Structure 1
Amino acid sequence: MNEAIEDIAARIVAAVSGSAAGTDGELVPYSDPLTVPPVIRPGRDGRQVTEIALRPVWVRMHSQVPPTLMWGYGGSVPGPTIEVRRGQRVRIAWTNRIPPGSPHPVTAVAVEREPGQADPHNRPGRQGAEPDGDVAALPAWSVTGLHGAPAGGGGDVRPDEAVGYGGTQLVEYPNDHRAAQWWYRDHARGISRWNAYAGLAGICLVRDDEEDALGLPSGEREVPLVLADRNLDREDAAAGGRLSGRLLHKTTLVTREHPETGRPVTLPFLGPYTTVNGTIWPYLDVVDGWYRFRMVNASNARVYDLVLVDDEDNPVPGVVHLIGSDGGLLPRPVPVDFEFGAPLTIAPAERLDLLLDFRELAGRSVRLVNKAAGQAPGVPDAAWDVPYPQVMEFRVARGAGPDTFVLPAVLSRSFERTAPGEAGCRRRLVVLTPPTTSGGGCRPELWEMEEVDALRAGPPAPGIVQVRGPDGTVRTYRRRARGEGPGPAVREGAYEEWSLLNLGAPLCPVHIPLAECRVAGREAYTVDGFDPALGGTRAPVAYDGDRGIAVPPGEQGWKDVFRVAGGEMVRVRGRFAGAYGRFAYRSTVLEHADAGMERPFVVLPGEVAEFAGGE
């Protein structure tokens, strides 16, 4: 008992003094209040330009850690929350005000995993690894993309058109869209994993009359939650020193070598510390009523499996209600009761619109935690996948009076499950390949496929994939392009169904811009027939009817990011409308996207596509 008291006392002293508790740099959870980013509401005149400047900013991520140098939009991390009305045309000047010669905020290292050792990349500090000098010398070169928003004049963000100090990226956003939560971040080619990690992210909210009519919680009771995992360097880089506050991007070099290059395979970044709005494990004071939380996963690669728990780490049912996803409100609210440990999952770039009902929790505290696979809520994962489960804490006080808000039975009356013209839509197959695939350069890829005659293809051969579907028919597909090769042409206004088939790559979230999509189905496939060494199938990958995969209620609304697990086909259906120009669909795992896991496509007027002999 005395040892426990002494440990608690040491933690209190450490929290007060601002030093790390103990030599392992362990931080006290829920020590700091949640920071809410500022709100900007651009003028209604489309000729007016709103400047949002990128600037260096010092952020106190935790009271026990020295301030951290980061880059922020408008001088804050995350950047300001942009609010616009549907149809309110807005021009934003994303201006780079990061002075030349400014040090890049991120220390990047790669640590090789020793045989039998737990993965070290998800632990604080860099274990003596030397920083990557090329990353340290990177200039402040940035281009901003607004996920979900078609830009005026057409086209998607172009990663190679980034700007340096003093440069401005002027973009016009029509915002002709139902109420939704978009978000913005850096997209600079090849370096977005470090620029976004440095803090360049923020939220944009589109409002409309349908949402207003619901009377949802607003003002101080509508709170953005930007989740991002981070790692921090130590004053003693080898081991044992207190956390320095310096951002650390640490990846692991897996000892198995790629058969072609002979190089170790580099895993995407996963950090030990979860930040919410830039603060590690914050708390939020609330009252016993309804709150609305607009959540986005701005992490480089981490997928969160969230559970609301009490002080004893038991799930708390009846509090969380999911009301919206990437593209806006769901048709109806979805209660999230965490039955049988089922979490609320959010992958990088996904958004969740949540209502939390604190009415029965006055005088209590509840916590949002990240549940590792196979672990009970709140329990650290011994393999270091989730070394610290904490996310944030809600401290519930008694309010001045009862909350009269009533959860609507119907949220979006304008939602259409099937639209005219959708049944006859064009179908495409995109496969996700494992990082060990021949010619893939130690990384997963996206391949666009076209159906061909099996006799002409002559399988097995590189780039040839055979698929046995639910009806038992075997279809043969040939890879059209990979990497920088030309992408497909899509007719503006057309409905398309894209089938995303994961042939053994890690779970991958895929972002499809411009189109408003729904998940039309999830199907299990046996993918043993795909041979990475060949780069094709030796036997058809086959539909596995014994492993039924239901589309969860939270995926039955509009989305633009889709989680695709190994051995799974996800069919997404939507209409590509609202803009012409060049676009790119991509993995939202930034380390994969920077390495080339994105593919271009172009949207053309239908008449032009037909005249040009396109698809």
Structure 2
Amino acid sequence: MLLAHPLTPFVDRLTIPPRRVFAEPARLAVRLEATTHRFHRDLAPSGVWTYDGHLPGPTIEVRRGVPLEIRWDNRLSGTLPVVVTVAPSGKADGVPVQCLPGRSGGDADPSAAALTGFSVVHLHGAVTHASSDGWAENLAAPGQATLDLYPNEQRAAMLWYHDHVMGVTRFKVYAGLAGLWIVRDDRERELGLPEGPPYELPLLLTDRNFDMGPDGAMTGQLLHKTDPVVAECFGPFTAVNGTIWPYFEVEPTTYRLRLLNGSNARTFRLVLEQGGKPDHQRVAQIGSDGGLFLAPARIPAQGLVLASAERADLLVDFSDLAPGTELTLWNTARAPFDGAFADPATAGANDRDGLLPYPEVLRLRVVGAHRSRYSVPSTLATDFQRTRRDEPTISVVRAIALVERPAEVEG
């Protein structure tokens, strides 16, 4: 049974998605296409579905109030490049099957295997007209396209675009159909916040699993595995911008990390560690899903929690660190997430019962000469307005139960 890491952590450099930057109204085309992608140096290339051939898709950056018209050109070919399976048992030799690569005795779901590239794109977090919101049944078949208008008339924030097909969104996003979208405004520039490379890092966090060959070695085949005990898929390997457990070299200065949890079900509780101890005093959170906070906030001692689709805007100060210093970002959240606090001093420990066999996320290595330190302003947003509504008169009280049940895959 698997005990050691099947892949070596921190040997692949973090990749940054290509940028498409717009300061004026524009029309552009984004092509949905099948390609291959290598998640780790020791894995064979994986078949994936992508936007413009990149995983994640290109990061679209646009000024507030600048409309973009996008033609989403569906050129996807073949069937879903993900094996979908339900393992017959929740454990194998005492280890939860979702901690393991391979199908664990499950058969490939034939309905999922037959899914073709019908697609529709949703810009998550955007203020749009309903006709451009990516309605889940407004599908484009391969060879067709949809045309959407995004006014971008909203506060500066990081959004994300992803596939949104009714009933199978989880599989299409798992296959690679996701990318980041950043709205910028004058207030951010007044604050002098890092914008773009090299000191702003958009980071898309996802969990993934892979199939195994007859020889017991992992292949590059993407695997979406659940089991009779846990209905959600919790992949044991964390990818950042499509690379499993990458490293990134930082200069001794302030970086802006724009994080998104793009996993279907896994929650992250992120702990930044140096020398075996949490090192959160160098991190300030300046924003989240809706944009900048009124004032910066410190990361809780237990770590930063990001549920699915949540975003965080962080400033991390490396200015006091000598070249050669290494910091590691760990995940300490059990799955399914129970909200329980973990001792941050134990960051880096696996938790198989909590479906967290490999807690590694990202390693940061300090290189180069010292630079000036960015002073985090005490006041950030000046346009934040809290929405308030009067409580309605309650006339009827109803109980609504939210329950899980097996999902049928419909082609």
Per the TM superposition, whether the score is higher than 0.5 is yes
Change (3 A) 1:28 1:211: same
**Structure 1, residues 185-227: CA drift from partner, whole Å, max 9, x if none?**
1110111111000000011000100111000122310010000
**Structure 1, residues 248-277: CA drift from partner, whole Å, max 9, x if none?**
0000113xxxxxxxxxxx611100000000
Partner residue in 2 for 1:86: 64
Is the CA contact (8 Å cut-off) linking 1:118 and 1:384 kept in structure 2?
no
Q: CA deviation at 1:311?
A: 4.2
Partner residue in 2 for 1:435: none
Equivalences, count? 397
Unaligned runs of 5+ in 1: 1-21, 255-265, 428-449, 453-475, 480-502, 507-590, 597-615
Q: CA deviation at 1:24?
A: 6.8
Is 1:223 the counterpart of 2:186? The answer is: no
Q: CA deviation at 1:160?
A: 1.0
Is 1:395 the counterpart of 2:371? The answer is: no
Q: How does 1:19-418 map to 2 (within 5 A)?
A: 26-42=6-22, 44-45=24-25, 48-99=26-77, 102-113=78-89, 117-152=94-129, 156-218=133-195, 219-236=197-214, 241-254=216-229, 267-312=231-276, 314-336=277-299, 338-339=300-301, 342-362=302-322, 363-373=324-334, 374=342, 376-383=346-353, 385-399=355-369, 401-417=370-386
Please report the TM-score for the alignment, with normalisation by the length of structure 1. 0.61
Partner residue in 2 for 1:468: none
Change (3 A) 1:82 1:326: same
Q: CA deviation at 1:403?
A: 1.5
Mapped to 2, the partners of 1:594 and 1:173 lie a distance apart of 33
**Structure 1, residues 409-464: CA drift from partner, whole Å, max 9, x if none?**
111122234x6xx352558xxxxxxxxxxxxxxxxxxxxxx842xxxxxxxxxxxx
Out of 398, 402, 409, the residue aligned to residue 477 of structure 1 is 398
Instruction: From the CA coordinates, give the structure whose radius of gyration is larger.
Output: 1
Mapped to 2, the partners of 1:592 and 1:43 lie a distance apart of 46
Unaligned runs of 5+ in 2: 335-341
Mapped to 2, the partners of 1:285 and 1:225 lie a distance apart of 14
Please report the TM-score for the alignment, with normalisation by the length of structure 2. 0.90
Is the CA contact (8 Å cut-off) linking 1:178 and 1:208 kept in structure 2?
yes
Is the CA contact (8 Å cut-off) linking 2:61 and 2:183 kept in structure 1?
yes
Q: CA deviation at 1:241?
A: 1.3
State the secondary structure of the residue aligned to 1:323.
Answer: strand
Identity percentage of aligned residues: 39
Is the CA contact (8 Å cut-off) linking 1:303 and 1:346 kept in structure 2?
yes
Is the CA contact (8 Å cut-off) linking 1:141 and 1:188 kept in structure 2?
yes
State the secondary structure of the residue aligned to 2:228.
Answer: strand
Mapped to 1, the partners of 2:271 and 2:90 lie a distance apart of 33
Mapped to 1, the partners of 2:385 and 2:17 lie a distance apart of 34
Amino acid at match of 1:414: D
CA RMSD of aligned residues (A): 2.5
Is the CA contact (8 Å cut-off) linking 1:288 and 1:358 kept in structure 2?
yes
Mapped to 1, the partners of 2:225 and 2:309 lie a distance apart of 21
Mapped to 2, the partners of 1:162 and 1:42 lie a distance apart of 27
Higher relative contact order (CA 8 A, sep 6+): 2
Q: CA deviation at 1:478?
A: 6.1
Q: CA deviation at 1:137?
A: 1.2
Q: CA deviation at 1:372?
A: 3.4
Mapped to 1, the partners of 2:23 and 2:389 lie a distance apart of 40
Change (3 A) 1:124 1:175: same
